[in-house]
Amino acid sequence: MSGWKRRKQVWCAAAALAWAGGAWAMEPLPEQPPVPADNPMSEAKVALGKQLFFDPRLSVDGTVSCNSCHNVMASGTDNRPVSVGVGGQKGGRNAPTVWNAAFLTVQFWDGRAATLEEQAKGPILNPIEMGMPSEEAVIERLKQIPGYVEQFEKVFGKGGLTYDNIAKAIAAYERTLITPNSPVDRYLKGEKDALSPAAQRGMRLVEEVGCTACHFGPNFAGPAGPMGKGFYQKFPTFTDNEYVKKYDLMADLGRYEVTKDPADKHMWRVPTWRNVALTAPYFHNGKVQTLDEAVRVMAKTQLNKDLTEDQVRDIVAFLEALTGEFPPQELPRLPETVGFSVVSEP
Amino acid sequence: MSGWKRRKQVWCAAAALAWAGGAWAMEPLPEQPPVPADNPMSEAKVALGKQLFFDPRLSVDGTVSCNSCHNVMASGTDNRPVSVGVGGQKGGRNAPTVWNAAFLTVQFWDGRAATLEEQAKGPILNPIEMGMPSEEAVIERLKQIPGYVEQFEKVFGKGGLTYDNIAKAIAAYERTLITPNSPVDRYLKGEKDALSPAAQRGMRLVEEVGCTACHFGPNFAGPAGPMGKGFYQKFPTFTDNEYVKKYDLMADLGRYEVTKDPADKHMWRVPTWRNVALTAPYFHNGKVQTLDEAVRVMAKTQLNKDLTEDQVRDIVAFLEALTGEFPPQELPRLPETVGFSVVSEP
């Protein structure tokens, strides 16, 4: 069986499962995300991961932190078409939100990381993102910061300051970034006036139109688990429309760039709908400016449907009702160096 | 009387005042900084200013906030030689700390802003910092963010969203960024074991050597007030030494670049000593990497003195004891836009 056929079969099975019973397609956000056995949560680990997440010293010139592109004070994104790394370099893709990323079964637009741990290792060493030259260079730098050395030992034991453990701490912090109690969640739990009439119409429409064939499950991004198993779709599926050229939707080959399997051309991980109203601009290339246009584009390119403006408005009302509650958090104090800086320039 | 003579007279008077009585040269940090009559503090204003301080949407491409260069999670600086603005552009000077800046009587290295309010207006429009094209463009952008419109009206009244009020809110937040209870403050208040013997020797040394001729007052940066009246010194004063060339101390003409008065060549605002151990690298150009070397450079270039290594160590111990307590604070939630981003690119 070819990769494509196999994938299609998986897709159909998942879609059928999602459709079975209608309302089953939507689930409230669980209170806790899955936690891998080899990276249990602890308060100290989360506190360390939070410091690392906000620390620009993880970038070669001390200007870019994880939070620069995944701003937890906002939507968990940078609200830019593509992100900007060290030296003003632009990346190729739109930054996905870090909020609720813990519920995704693979990370990155192309699913090239199976876990949050694996994801966290990427941008630090990516020359156009945080630009550190090597894992060793990262360790060497953090070793100069006594507060980090101490905390890594406390959390991971002697010799605890390793690149793997940096990723583990960051991932542990990210697993706390959950936005519960969106109006949709409250509605699904029985609070029937949590949704406006427009949002309720939108909720029915996303099923009738077919959006929830892919956008189902706790994160509205496909089946829940197992971790490492991605749920991919071809985008665009229907290419004979104005949007494909207008928004340059074919230039990036998606998952093919990772696997080099021709069946993976234009395959993308299904992204979450949670907080989607806050994460403009849209799609892997960030070329679509507004949520209503994103809805039109998806209906046409994925389902070959032209929505009426009323339908678009109702679907947008539903998607807006997927904005959750952002738990307040304290600013981390970054551990200090006394009398010198670990960031230097020739 | 020439500008230089007049300034020298002011300097001598201030220095004499500082010396009178010895211990008078050092004062604990006051609990509250001066607050200008036309910008009274309020909780809502501080909350608004904090959001603005952390909001990268005040920069043209949405990548740089006030906090990018004045990181309140760390030393209030970026710990870089010079800061990096939009598009990876480098500035010409080292970012001064925002912590306790409220006690300085003028802002910027060259004192070109009389108040925090005036200072806050600069970087937003500076093409190599945050790069917004005009005050109008800033207002236009914030007007698209309902949460800001609402808060500006609440804090400043109808039509409250103005460039002046943006600066007022940011300044109000900055006036809360105070680090009390450093070991030196506790010592000055009578807690005699707050300082190590080395730090106590350093405390005597900075007076004996002459450092406190300029570094006195509540911020160890000169006389307290009135606001707008700067306390400037020539740096380097003694130029016949290895440091001047090694660290390129003459290239920048300092306050002269603002006033074009030849007497202002190489004149600089006396910077604070508070938290100086955390704000490496040092001096206006950030070319000196470590605090001990900064002490050697200052003794030689300002007082023509060669310190022994023991003296350097003791002075550094004293300066390290000027690290205060950083009050914990909550991360601000940045007001959202629903379905679109205010940052776009062609």
In this predicted structure, what is the pLDDT of residue A224? 79
Instruction: For chain A, say whether B78 makes contact (Cβ under 8 Å).
Output: yes
For A74-78, A220-224, B50-54, which range has the lowest pLDDT when averaged over its residues? Answer: A220-224
Query: pLDDT averaged over chain A?
Result: 93
Instruction: For chain B, say whether A2 makes contact (Cβ under 8 Å).
Output: no
> Which residue on chain A is closest to B341 by alpha carbon?
A280
In this predicted structure, what is the pLDDT of residue B344? 76
Instruction: For chain A, say whether B86 makes contact (Cβ under 8 Å).
Output: yes
Which residues does chain A have within 8 Å of residue B316's beta carbon, measured at their own beta carbons?
339
Higher pLDDT, B227 or A90: A90
Is residue A305 very low, low, confident or very high in pLDDT (cuts 50, 70, 90)?
Answer: very high
In this predicted structure, what is the pLDDT of residue A227? 86
State the catalytic residue, choosing from B27, B117, B118, B129: B129
Q: What is the pLDDT of residues B64-78, one digit of tens each?
A: 999 999 999 999 999
Amino acid at B1: M
Peptide bond into B33 cis (omega under 30): no
In this predicted structure, what is the pLDDT of residue B3? 39
- How much of chain B, in percent, has pLDDT values that exceed 70? 93
Cβ distance A72 to B334 less than 8 Å, yes or no, reads no
Burial zone of A78 (CB within 10 Å; 0-12 exposed, 13-18 middle, 19+ buried): buried
Q: What is the mean pLDDT of residues B154-180?
A: 98
pLDDT over threshold 70, residue A22: no
Active site residues of A: 129
A118 min Cα distance to partner chain B (Å): 25
Cβ distance B341 to A280 less than 8 Å, yes or no, reads yes
Distance (Å, whole) CA A238 – CA A233: 12
Nearest of B234, B265, B184, B223 to residue B15 by alpha carbon: B223
In this predicted structure, what is the pLDDT of residue A346? 56
Which residues does chain A have within 8 Å of residue B73's beta carbon, measured at their own beta carbons?
54, 331-334
Q: What is the mean pLDDT of residues A20-40?
A: 81
Partner-chain residue, chosen from A84, A281, A292, that has the shortest CB–CB distance to B63: A84
- So where are chain A's domains? 3-30+181-320, 43-174
Q: Which fold has domain B3-30+179-320?
A: Cytochrome Bc1 Complex; Chain D, domain 2 (1.10.760)
Is residue B17 very low, low, confident or very high in pLDDT (cuts 50, 70, 90)?
Answer: very low
Residues 6+ apart with CB under 8 A from B307: B209, B295, B296, B299, B315
Superfamily of the domain at A3-30+181-320:
Cytochrome c-like domain (1.10.760.10)
Query: pLDDT averaged over chain B?
Result: 93
With H, G, I as helix, E, B as strand and everything else as coil, classify residue B107.
Answer: strand
Provide CATH code, domain A43-174: 1.10.760.10
Residue entry with tokens 């008065």: B261
Instruction: For chain A, say whether B89 makes contact (Cβ under 8 Å).
Output: yes
Count CB neighbours of A251 within 10 A.
10
A306: phi then psi, degrees, rounded to nearest 5: -105, 115
In this predicted structure, what is the pLDDT of residue B23? 43
Is residue A184 very low, low, confident or very high in pLDDT (cuts 50, 70, 90)?
Answer: very high
In this predicted structure, what is the pLDDT of residue B225? 73
Tally of CA atoms within 13 A in the half-sphere of B267 that contains its CB: 22
Higher pLDDT, B68 or A1: B68
Cβ distance A72 to B330 less than 8 Å, yes or no, reads no
Question: Are the C-beta atoms of residues A243 and A293 closer than 8 Å to each other?
Answer: no
Distance (Å, whole) CA B47 – CA A223: 40
In this predicted structure, what is the pLDDT of residue B346? 56
Show the DSSP H helices in B157-232 as ranges.
Answer: 163-174, 183-188, 197-209
- In three state form, how does the secondary structure of A156-168 look? HCCCCCCHHHHHH
Is residue A226 very low, low, confident or very high in pLDDT (cuts 50, 70, 90)?
Answer: confident
Pairing of strands B232-234, A232-234: unpaired
Distance (Å, whole) CA B299 – CA B286: 17
In this predicted structure, what is the pLDDT of residue B10? 44
Q: Please determine whether the domains at B3-30+179-320 and B43-174 fall in the same fold group of CATH.
A: yes
Partner-chain residue, chosen from A63, A339, A345, that has the shortest CB–CB distance to B280: A339
pLDDT over threshold 50, residue B20: no
